[in-house]
Amino acid sequence: MFPYLKISHIAKKESWRKEVYRPLYHIHKWWALRLGSVFRASIIHAVGNESDEWSAFYQQHDYHKTVLDPFMGSGTTLGEAIKLGCNVIGCDINPVSTFLVEQELKDVNIDELNNVYHQVEADVCETIRNYHVTKNDASNEYLPVLYYLWVMVVTLPDGESIELFNNYIVSHNAYPSRHPEIQIVCPSCGYIFQGNNNDHWTICPNCGMEFDPHKGPVRGQYVFDSDGNRYRIKDLLPKDHPPDEKMYAIIALSKDGNRLYRAPNQFDLDLFGKACSDFDNSCLPIPSLELLAGTNSDQAIGYGYKKWSDFFNKRELLCLGILLKRIMEINDDDIKGQMLCLFNSTLEFNNRFCSYKGEGTGAVRPIFSNHILKPERTPLENSVWGIAQSSGCFSTLYRSRLLKAKEYLSNPFEISIRDGKAEKIVCNREMHPRLVNSYSEISNTVVEALILNGDSSHLPLPDASVDAVVTDPPYFDFVNYSELSDFFYSWLKCAYPNDSLFSSNSSRVEGEVQNADEAVFSSNLERVFKECYRVLKPDGTLTFSFHHSRESGWIAIENAIRHSGFFVVEAYPVYAELSAATPKAGAKSPISFDMMLVCSKKPNKFCDASIAERYISDLINEGFKLTDNDCFVIRHGVSLVLSSCSSSQTRN
């Protein structure tokens, strides 16, 4: 039996630091990342034929099976199967997914990677850093700037300008009960000073104004003027360009290594003006694609963001353009691809949709922290190349993400828990698959990977050629992947102007499974499942993760399974995500558990109707806190097995 309790404990630990415990899947943003430990265990369950699957989890294997993922996304299935000695075939309709998985699995010499990185550093580092410095008025010294803080400004009907602050707290600590110190900006003179998070009344030491730092003029979608008049923010926004912004604070690094909060001085304003002028007079590779209408993009369009370049101010565009131009000059295509993957990660933390998280945690809240395109009213401007103390910059991400991922290819590991702490255990083979271009090149003499881009309902594979399908399909009404991935796609199109993978004006492709209409979603998923049925060997299984909080989601998934010819023969719960993780933290009943649904071409003859309640009881006894929606997911997952059992005679 699948060791769902033990695996869920491992998965929960992994979920706290996914980028540490599975660095390979974090060199480039993807959405709804699944946990590697869960998929490792699921692949062992699918192809291993092990008597003790828990013990097998920490053993090195050489299964010589072929595993397919028709929705490869970030490549989790592929990476975990490779570690188990399997050949892998991955396909995704989204070109950004294809690009990032190819870069993840590509074997490059780390010494050569370092050499090229240092060449790029020598050519553009100082140029970029010089746009992110400040001058200390008191000492006349130049200091590096970590972050610039901005605020949207709107104009009221009477001509008054108003800054869209929810509150006047510039920075607070992630643990305010232990560290109540906060940085406050005065709404009258702009002076920045230290206060206490527990105080709801303060006096500006510069101008003497008394105010509540916790209360700004913005309440949700409305802004109030000094007389208490209410205005809908969206009615005040310009129609033909993004909202105006004002730089209200900088966070610099003092000579003694401490963060220095202060209002921008004339030097800071002049430097930004110079960057804008330099950009206007430059000729750099900058995205020109327009936003297309969509569930997520409409929100940004409503705020005046018409092109993907609008997501960046001119200094960001200048520095990113300088960096991208230099990366495009790299002669080694494999190294260039790695650097472009890193560049795209840098984009995530360097745009007008980022915000400042404060002290005691990662400083930058990136654009996709909520899995949507949410315009940020108090955006953070990062420093692109960065320094050692920066967060989310090209240089820091090179060390923390790209190098860690490439090192993981040579020295992959699993995590074990001892006395409540995670330990890294080396129990895997090196991950250096041979990348092939077609199924005919798979020889089974070494571990090989075939990465495809296209509609997975039409795979270039022979009948009965795959031992197992393990995947995580898109959920019909959750994250609109292609709308969000266009953010990265627009820059990749600049970097690869002649590559067929980026020949379109969007990463959106006809044939995407995801659809807000459950009937359309079910029909689209059915087409892919039918193709999986065709390429799967007679005794192979289709395993995929799923959860949904509404009945309609389960009806859609059941119809897709049934109409494609499969029977659900097993369903087991696995820990999937932190309930406190964004964007789940705001849900009334967040879902932390997925159901892994195992489907076969043959039905089970016996089904245990009581297993759902045993799952729930066992998980609670193990210390897991289940919400009502978690229990709903578990019961509905098991109901699919029962339904397949009862319908098997009729279908046969």
From residue 9, how far is each of 105, 416, 453 by CA, in Å?
28, 9, 34
> In this structure, is residue 508 part of a structural domain?
no
> In this structure, is residue 53 part of a structural domain?
yes
Q: Are 531 and 573 in contact (CB under 8 A)?
A: no
Q: Are 569 and 496 in contact (CB under 8 A)?
A: no
- Domain assignment of residue 426, given as a range: 1-107+411-451
CA dihedral 347, 350, 356, 361 (to 10 degrees): 50
Distance separating the N- and C-terminal Cα atoms of the chain: 27
pLDDT computed for residue 582 by the predictor: 43
What confidence tens digit (pLDDT) does each residue in 226-243 have? 899 999 999 999 988 999
What lies within 8 Å, CB to CB, of 583 at 6+ separation is 369, 370, 371, 372
Q: Are 214 and 200 in contact (CB under 8 A)?
A: yes
pLDDT above 70: residue 580: no
Q: How far apart are CA 541 and CA 601, in angstroms?
A: 8
> In this structure, is residue 170 part of a structural domain?
no
Q: How far apart are CA 381 and CA 391, in angstroms?
A: 11
pLDDT above 60: residue 411: yes
> In this structure, is residue 469 part of a structural domain?
no
Q: Are 27 and 100 in contact (CB under 8 A)?
A: yes
The rounded percent of the chain whose pLDDT value lies above 70 is 97
Task: Give the ranges where 106-190 is alpha helix by DSSP (H).
Answer: 110-129
H/E run at residue 523: helix 518-535
Q: Are 217 and 203 in contact (CB under 8 A)?
A: no
> In this structure, is residue 19 part of a structural domain?
yes
> In this structure, is residue 615 part of a structural domain?
no
Q: How far apart are CA 406 and CA 85, in angstroms?
A: 18
What confidence tens digit (pLDDT) does each residue in 589-644 have? 889 999 999 999 998 877 888 999 999 999 999 999 999 999 999 999 999 999 99
What confidence tens digit (pLDDT) does each residue in 152-180 have? 999 999 999 999 999 999 999 999 999 99
Q: Are 191 and 204 in contact (CB under 8 A)?
A: yes
Ramachandran sector of residue 190 (left: φ over 0; alpha: ψ -120 to 50; beta: rest): left
> In this structure, is residue 92 part of a structural domain?
yes
What confidence tens digit (pLDDT) does each residue in 72-101 have? 999 999 999 999 999 999 999 999 999 999
**pTM attached to this predicted model:** 0.94
Confidence band for 586, pLDDT divided at 50, 70 and 90: very low
Q: Are 41 and 545 in contact (CB under 8 A)?
A: no
The residue assigned the tokens 């949700």 is 220
Q: Residue 539: is it exposed, middle or buried by C-beta count within 10 angstroms (0-12/13-18/19+)?
A: exposed
Counting the structural domains of the chain, the total is 1
Q: How far apart are CA 640 and CA 597, in angstroms?
A: 9
pLDDT computed for residue 479 by the predictor: 60
What lies within 8 Å, CB to CB, of 223 at 6+ separation is 154, 162, 164, 217, 230, 231, 233, 236
Which three-class secondary structure state does DSSP give residue 420? Answer: coil
> In this structure, is residue 46 part of a structural domain?
yes
pLDDT computed for residue 500 by the predictor: 95
What would you measure as the largest C-alpha separation in the chain, in angstroms? 85
